[in-house]
Every structure is written in structure tokens, then in C-alpha cells.
Structure 1
């Protein structure tokens, strides 16, 4: 009975199992011919797929100049979303907000004591890059410019920015004020979630109503891609926003987007030059190189269907069932943004599937993946799922479970221990038990006398 109780308790402790899942990750898109961007850093990303079409020094720490104002606008719009402010709320410019700004910096002529709405301060900041508007909004959102800068840096970390540190809300030069093309893309992508942001950034002209200290202001954008008013030869009809910036230390910078058909591209150009040609005409390359990036991106890449959800890519053997195998196919139709010179049939397909799976299998169950690549560049890793249900055989499953149970090391060890205990028990019976019986048996001489038999 003791041996039986020991085995029962032991067997309850030896059957524990676990599973691990490795998620699939898609890599960036392979490049097409280089568009020869001369800026210090540049980035071109497809907004829908997140595919990087072009990159150059995208993680280099560089001065952003007024591109900083994208983050200032983002925090302001978040405060509005949280109910701390409203677009219609009137703010009065304080002396502290207008102190310490460079006299030759971008300005909308806002004066101490002037009152206008949050929306109009955003227009001043994003359309003509007014530095004083940044500090007014910063004080309204966080109480002080210093606290607002702390919030800017905290937001950058939250967005995954690795090479960013802000020192002010406006982008005036500071050696400790820097970011990267990639980090600016992350910040811009978040700001673009707010319709008000893109609506203001896309304005060629913004009219600010008269205030207590100023007549009507007519603000014209600093973005040459949107308007010919400041310079000719740069307008790109598919461009939308976003923000310009320039200082002698930062060079000429631009974050922009462009939409053609169903596709939208986002570009970042940092540290571009202003070059005067032999004809005396100046080329501000933050605009010309952004335009060339857009034209290159739309011309050299297109969406292609590379896999259908009806494509049966392999059969996987099934155990514990009367059905031998199950077909697998992509979980959904797969469309990729590919260079035009790459055809879908040229992609290499690397299947990652088990040799066998155990029934039951359900339709749509993920069984593996297929990796799509070309010349060492991985375009996507796609889940493969079972086509149909496969039921398990009860008898085969029973015997499989029995085999699995007895194949466990703990069970094998228990059986060895049990065998040893049984052998010890038998030995005890054959030795000590027999000796006890022999010594305890009465002899004939000790028996009572019954008389002589006649």
C-alpha cells in the first residue's frame, strides 16, 4: 500500500509542458537606383507600409533648426486632445515667452500682452515658423518653457527616439539640441495623426484676424514646395506640408509628405546646402532634393501582389490521424511595395515548417512561415496556416500519450526506483522472511506426547 501511495503522488508531479512562440519580423525594402542626395542625412518612407525606400545617415545626430516645432505642435495638440487646452482658447503672450529670442530669428511680430487663439499661435508657428509662438504655447501647456522642454524629451523617449535631445521649443541653435532623420520621422508620424496639424502645415497662406495689438496678419508659408511666393521653381503639386528649418549650423532642413493616388511618402532632409549656380540662380537643396526624392520614390516603387491566400505552398505530414497531411497557404493576400525592376516571381521563398504536426489541426491554424527575399534582402516573413481541419484518432492519440508519458526521464527514474524497491522486497522475502519462519517453527520434540501408536 505504501508503494502504491508513493507512485500515485510521484506521477502527479512529473507531467509539465511548455510552449514558445517566435514572432515573424519583416525587414526593410531593398533599394532601387540611388537618387544621389547630397544633404548630410535623408530618409524616404512609405507611410502605409513603413517601408524605407531611401536612407542616408538616418541615425546621425544633427541640428534640426525649426523642425523642432513639429514636436512643439505635437505636445500642444496632445494637450488639446486631453482637454487641457482648446483650439479656440485665447492666450496672452507673456514677457517671459518673448525674452531671449534671437532678433534675426523667424517671427510673426507677436508682442508682449497680445492675445490670440491657440489655433492662430499654431499657424504662426507652423506657417511662418514664429519662434515666439513656440514659447507662448510651451507656457500654456506646461507652465514654463523649461518644463515643456522636459516634456519634449520625455515624449521623444516614449516615441522610441534614440538620438534626440531638445534644449528649447523653437529650434534656435544650442549644442545640446539635436535629433536625427529617423527620430524626426517618428515624431512627424505621430503628429500627422492630428488632422489639424496637417491642415495647418499644408497652408500656403494663413490669415490671422486682428488682435488687441495688431491688424490682420497674412502669413505666407516658408515651404517652397507649396508656394512660389518666396521662390520659384520648387513647387511640387503632390506635396503636403510639413515644416522647414534653417540655421547656419543646421543648414537647410525640410520634413515633407507627398500623396499620389493611394500612396503617401514621408521625407526628411537634414543639413542641405544652398548652392548658387554659374547663372547666379540659387538652389536651396532641402527643397530640390526633397522633390527629387518624391519623384524617385513614386517612379521606382509600386505595390505588387506577391502571394495569394489561395496559394498552396506545401503539405505538412500529420500524425495521430487517419489523414496523412494538410496543405498550408498564406494567412492573407500579401502585397509588398517593391522596386519596379523586381518581379514577384523572382522572390525567393524560404519555407519554415515542421516535418510533422500532431492532430488535431484546425483550419487557419498557424503551422509555419514563408520568408520572401531577393539577393539577401528580406522583404517579408508571412505566416502559413492550415487549409482545413484534421481530426485526431482517439486510439492513436491514446497510445501516443502513453508513449510520451513513459518516455519522460522522471517517469523512467520512477520506474527504476520502483524496480529496485520490488527487487529489494523480493530479496527481503527470500532471506529475512525465510529465516524468521525457520526459527519460529516448533520442533517435533517440543510437541506434546500423544502416546505410542499401536
Structure 2
């Protein structure tokens, strides 16, 4: 194999190291770009901490995947006794699962969370085990759920990074996005069902351009937390702040921290096409064929988010054999190319052949002649039988 490194050159000039990183008081925080999952900024992002009602992001997406929106949920005594914040559901009351999900995410209803958990898994404990397992599957390895609503409990923890992963996954579900972006809704009174009016407690939706999520949180151990999401100019960012403070100051600081992080992301990063699909990257010799070479093209497009400084440092590393032996099939993978930024791999593509190339040597020629003769002989016999 031979390796070739190409330097990508963009029209915009590079500038020095970032000097405008956000000033954030949260004890843990992160900013990622949703499509690629690339981390744009972080602060103690892998430090396990209690995460309060941001827990409900996992509760919601798991319920959407495990239940039916029209399911009828019967509220248990345990659910009805959940502490504030709550919808004030009554034991024995029945509500649609979909309506409880709106209460869960818009008003952070703790009683709704318990009712949902018991409906999906039979018990809170079984649902929390399912939540933890789902987190592990998503790569959120430092997350353990002990409650479905985020109330403080021994071992109930996550990290800013893990919550960003979970939220990135959840926002691929259109119904989840619809729920978290609903500003007001009335749960209708049907039969014995009670009616509820809900308004979204997420101030970020009202105050930040392009905001489209996600979830507030507060407990005595966790402090004020918030997972935010916003989309501007086709770039979707997700932020997490944990422990932005306590008291009235902390309550306000979570919004300040989130806006500073989002401003940093949108002001400094842009989506960049680093490699287009079907781009010619290498031509290599072909042995045992009439044609002397084959061209290799990228099989997909790679897009990432970069700041100006990073643009000048992106490279493409091409790994291909020195030559290939015929036959070659169109679309056959013959090499690989990686788009890299320092030690970070921004994307990988296969390098595929642009056409079919037949083998051409003495054994191949003899075989071809023999096959042609057999076909002609068979054709002649068939004609003879018809006559």
C-alpha cells in the first residue's frame, strides 16, 4: 500500500488561536454539532454529575420507542405521590401516553414520568434499567439512571458529554422534536379524563434565534441544568450545562451560559464540504489488462464543521495499493481516504473503480476463446434442432 497526503486549501484565510471562548460558570458543559457529533467546545464534559430533569430526555425517547402514543396509562398511587413539579395526577386517573409526554417535557411533570415508566416497563426500577442500557448503547458510558424524572438518588448521574449524545439521538425522532418545540397545548377532556393546559417552561425557545429544544432541570444536588438546541443556517448545535449555580442567580445563569456557548458556536464554526462524492483522488496502474490504469473516486461526501483556523490544517490521507491486478469491477473498493485534522478523523470514504476492466493475459485469452467457441457450438446445435 502507498499513502499520499493532500492538503485542503480553502479560500478564507486562517487566523490565530481562538481567543473568544465562552465564559461559562457551569461546572460541566459541552457544545456539539448534531450531524457529525463533533465537539466544538467543552468544560469538564466527562465529569459524572447529577443531572436533574434533563433525565427526562431519555424517559421521553424511550417511551416513544417502546410504547404507542394512543396507549392509555393508568396512574398509580406511587405516581400520584411524586413531588413537585407535577401535573397533579390522581391515583386511578387515565391519560393517553402522548399527552403525558407533553406534560413530561413541557412542564417537567414528575408524576407523569413515574406513570410513563410504570406503563412501559411495569415498574420504575425496570424502566430505569432500560434507560441505563439504552444510554450504554448510545455510547453514554458514564450514565446511570435511578429515577425516570431526575430527582436526586444515590448513583443517579450523567455527564455533559453523555447528555449531548443522548440528545443528539433523541432529536432524530420527529415526534420528540415536535413535543419539545410545542409552546402551548391543552390536553382535552375525554370521558373521565381530566383536561390540562400546558405552557412550555423552556425560556430558551422564546429568547434565542433558531432555538428548538430541549430540557431544563434543577435539584438540590444538581443545581440548575439545561440541555439546549438551536439551528441557524442549516447547522444544528446541542449544548449542555450542568450545575450553572443555585438559587435565583443559578436559575438565570443557566440561560446566560447556554446563550454564550451557542453564540460561540454559531459565530466561529461553519459547515464545510471537505470532500465531494465521485471526486477523482488517485489513478493507479492495472496489471494483466489492455488498459494501463484505473481511476479511483470517493464513494460519498464528507461534511464537517470547522473554524477558520482549522480549515487551513485539514488534510486527506489516501491509502491505495501500488497497483491492482485485473479483472476490476466498476464500484470495486480499491483503497480508502481519510479526512484528518491533526489526530482527529473527520471522515472516511472508500475509493472505488470508475469502470470495469477485463483481464488480458494468455490464460484469460484462451479461456475467452474457449467460452466463445462453446457458445457458438451451443447456438449451432439449437438451430439444427429447430431445422
TM range (shorter): 0.7 to 0.9
Out of 12, 32, 36, which is 1:49 matched to?
A: 36
| Alpha-carbon separation, structure 1, partners of 2:278 and 2:99 | 53
- Residue 318 of structure 1: how far off its partner (Å): 2.1
Correspondence 1:395 to 2:368 = no
| Alpha-carbon separation, structure 1, partners of 2:170 and 2:277 | 35
TM-score, normalization by structure 1: 0.68
Counterpart position of 1:108? 87
Q: For each residue in 1:389-448, what CA deviation from the matched residue of structure 2 results, as whole angstroms up to 9, or x when unmatched? A: 3322222779xxxxxxxxxxxxxxxxxxxxxxxxxxxxxxxxxxxxxxxxxxxxxxxxxx
Q: For each residue in 1:80-107, what CA deviation from the matched residue of structure 2 results, as whole angstroms up to 9, or x when unmatched? A: 2xxxxx43444342222234x34xx312
Bigger relative contact order, structure 1 or 2, given CA contacts below 8 A and separation 6+? 2
SS at match of 2:142: coil
| Alpha-carbon separation, structure 1, partners of 2:341 and 2:136 | 34
| Alpha-carbon separation, structure 2, partners of 1:32 and 1:368 | 36
Distance of aligned partners of 1:257 and 1:395 in 2 relative to their CA distance in 1, 3 Å threshold: same
Q: How does 1:36-435 map to 2 (within 5 A)?
A: 36-80=23-67, 86-99=68-81, 101-102=82-83, 105-210=84-189, 216-227=195-206, 235-273=207-245, 284-309=252-277, 311-343=279-311, 347-395=314-362
| Alpha-carbon separation, structure 1, partners of 2:262 and 2:236 | 10
Work out which of the two has the higher radius of gyration on C-alpha atoms and give 1 or 2: 1
- Residue 282 of structure 1: how far off its partner (Å): 7.0
| Alpha-carbon separation, structure 2, partners of 1:387 and 1:211 | 62
| Alpha-carbon separation, structure 2, partners of 1:314 and 1:52 | 31
Larger relative strand fraction: 2
Distance of aligned partners of 1:51 and 1:69 in 2 relative to their CA distance in 1, 3 Å threshold: same
- Residue 250 of structure 1: how far off its partner (Å): 0.7
Work out whether residues 73 and 96 of structure 2, in 8 Å CA contact, stay in contact via their aligned partners in 1: yes
- Residue 126 of structure 1: how far off its partner (Å): 1.2
| Alpha-carbon separation, structure 2, partners of 1:275 and 1:154 | 33
- Residue 275 of structure 1: how far off its partner (Å): 8.1
Please provide the CA RMSD for this pair. 3.0
Distance of aligned partners of 1:292 and 1:327 in 2 relative to their CA distance in 1, 3 Å threshold: same
- Residue 66 of structure 1: how far off its partner (Å): 0.7
SS at match of 1:323: coil
| Alpha-carbon separation, structure 2, partners of 1:199 and 1:373 | 36
Alignment coverage as a number of residue pairs: 349
Unaligned segments of structure 1, at least 5 residues: 1-30, 81-85, 228-234, 399-454
| Alpha-carbon separation, structure 2, partners of 1:334 and 1:121 | 40
Distance of aligned partners of 1:72 and 1:355 in 2 relative to their CA distance in 1, 3 Å threshold: same
Unaligned segments of structure 2, at least 5 residues: 1-16, 366-387
